[in-house]
Chain A
Amino acid sequence: MRVKRLQPMAARARRRYVEAMFQVLGRALQAVSEVDANVQGEARVLPAGFMFEMKVMPRGSALVVEHTGEGRFRYHGSSAPKPVNLSIQFKHLAHAFLVLSFQEKTSVAFAHDRMLVDGDISHAVRMTRILNRLEAFILPRVIASRAVKQYPANLHLPEKLLSGAKIYLNVANQFVHAVRA
């Protein structure tokens, strides 16, 4: 039997995908928090100045957003300007890829021990709900229902705001199929 070696191309592509996806999510999080009352309601409970980070262990890509108050988020790119309050860390790039390519729901990834939470659990619960809501916004319905436990019924958001993200995601989606195959 021939031993299939890990293709460095695929690994690199996966890394780039996760990086790009973090950027999409970060920007979308900021955008959605400016218009969606539901996300604002969830986020408002977080302290102002609250730093949230999602990253890949051990030193991989990261996504940092700050709750600036009133339910609004600001995207900080991949590094935090001050100590983070809550960090959700994927144990491996492959696990981040599973979640960010919507093959595994965030809650399932928690159930599968794919991620570690460093910080207040109640804040992690809240951020998970916000990310679920976000995924429902930026993903085509068929993919979103795979990514979140329930697809929310009440989504109202200016289409143009998120169309950019959606176009990007179409590309990403084709990429997922190519990499998965």
Chain B
Amino acid sequence: MPSYYEFFCPVKVIAGKAALEHIPYELSGLGASRPLLITDQGVRAAGLLDPVMAACDEGGLRIVTIYDKVPPDSSTTVVRDIAAIYRAEHCDSIIAVGGGSSIDTAKAVNILVSEGGEDIAAYSGAGILKRALKPFFAVPTTAGTGSEVTSIAVITDTEKSVKLPFTSPFLLPNAAIIDPRMTLTLPPQITAATAMDAMTHAIEAFTGMAKNPLSDAYATAAIQKISGALLTVMAEPKNATARLELAQASTMAGIAFSNSMVGLVHALGHATGALCHLPHGLCMSLYLPYALEYNLESIREPLGELLLYLEGADTYAATPPIRRAEAAISAIRRLRDELYQRCRLPRTLEETGKVTRSQLNTIARRALDDGAIIFNPKEVTYEDAIAVLERAWHQPHPVA
């Protein structure tokens, strides 16, 4: 139990069947009527804008304009361009439809259009913003990042080629709209990778240094939902109930980690993603069991508790307390093996085919510079990080 903690989540969660249809009412409740919609090409190509547009149309809300070219790694230039469109079209609110990049971009755009200026870099850092921004809704189309409930955005400064972090409670959307239609067509491998991102958020939040009773409640519920629904979704991609379970779990895991932070898995994953251009969720799935094994003696008790949410009451009860932490890691390994079977989601660095052994030194060094490492329950040296990477390189179990 922590001797002190803080917990904050003022985002209204609007989830379930026909959730999109609540957008017009909710936006009018904030006194806004001219939303700018921010999204990416993938979302548009998948036809996901159609239900959003239809819901707004029928509800008497006109989307003033759509920006649909958010790149996977959003930049300061993109943010400036979108802010210019917002101003030219006299918009008064923002709706982001997409994954982490669209939502992060929208957060940054909201800073510029609310606070003024052209240069988003001027607002980088923590605690710069002192008042509420324009009405902003997030409609996630992946079940993983949790960006709809986090108070952080990361935008690449293309000129200086650095990543600019923005943190403020005012970046949080006013509402997160979780509609099963938005994740129904997500391809299997992205479904699996993003779900493992959410799983990692929940597990790192629950076993990290900043864990607290409120974030614990969200984390355990998220793990239970993902364990219950992920393989169902892999078998029946059109199962709306199971899709909604994953989407809600992702939001819950997002609430957990934005209050409890993440650790070594994310530190290694951020470094790997940036260097080897691998999707974030995939990196999470890659490192999760190995980082937990590294942390094991520091997290034995909370990790053991998670067996209940990963495997259910019967397995938990049948496993002696001293074996539960190891059993939890085995459950995660089995889930990864299953995902490899279903959609070839790589389990090791070697299986990705995109990482070379010579890059491990750089990954280790960069991971030690990542902010997430502060909250890892066990101190990590360069040698430790290399050892985890070596384990993650090659599958130590027979390949199914």
Contact = CB atoms under 8 A, between A and B. Distances in A.
Nearest to A108: B209
Given A125-B373, A150-B378, A150-B379, A112 B125 contact: no
Of A108, A111, A119, most B-chain CB atoms within 10 Å:
A111
A76 interface: no
Interface in B352-400: 368-371, 373-375, 377-379
A35 interface: no
A149 B378 contact: yes
Interface residues on B, range: 20 to 34
A79 to B, nearest CB: 22
B206 to A, nearest CB: 14
B261 A111 contact: yes
Interface string A109-123: 011111011110110
Nearest to A114: B4
Nearest to B298: A149
Contact of A107 (B6, B165, B375): B375
Interface in A34-87: none
A114 B127 CA distance: 14
Nearest to B366: A122
B275 interface: no
A114 B5 CA distance: 10
A169 interface: no
B261 A122 contact: no
B369 A126 contact: yes
A104 to B, nearest CB: 8
A112 B2 contact: yes
Interface in B187-209: 208-209
A36 to B, nearest CB: 15
Given A149-B378, A150-B379, A113 B125 contact: no
Contacts of A119: 125
B83 interface: no
B126 interface: yes
Contact of A112 (B4, B165, B208, B379): B4
B209 A122 contact: no
Contact residues of A: prevailing secondary structure: helix
A113 B126 contact: no
Nearest to B5: A112
Contacts of B6: 112-113
A113 B6 CA distance: 7
Given A111-B209, A150-B378, A121 B2 contact: no
B210 interface: yes
B375 A122 contact: no
A114 B209 CA distance: 14
A176 B166 CA distance: 38
Contacts of A173: none
Contact of A122 (B208, B371, B379): B371
B368 A125 contact: yes
Contacts of A108: 209
A108 to B, nearest CB: 6
Contacts of A126: 369
A30 interface: no
Interface of B: 2-6, 125-127, 165, 208-210, 261, 368-371, 373-375, 377-379
22 contacts: A111-B374, A112-B4, A112-B5, A113-B6, A114-B4, A116-B126, A117-B126, A118-B125, A118-B126, A118-B127, A121-B370, A122-B369, A122-B370, A125-B368, A125-B369, A125-B370, A125-B373, A125-B374, A128-B374, A129-B368, A149-B377, A150-B378
Given A108-B209, A112-B5, 5 more contacts: A107-B374, A111-B261, A111-B374, A122-B371, A149-B377
Interface of A: 107-108, 110-114, 116-119, 121-122, 124-126, 128-129, 132, 148-150
A-B pairs with lowest CB-CB distance, top 8:
A111-B210, A122-B369, A121-B371, A149-B379, A111-B209, A150-B379, A112-B4, A113-B6
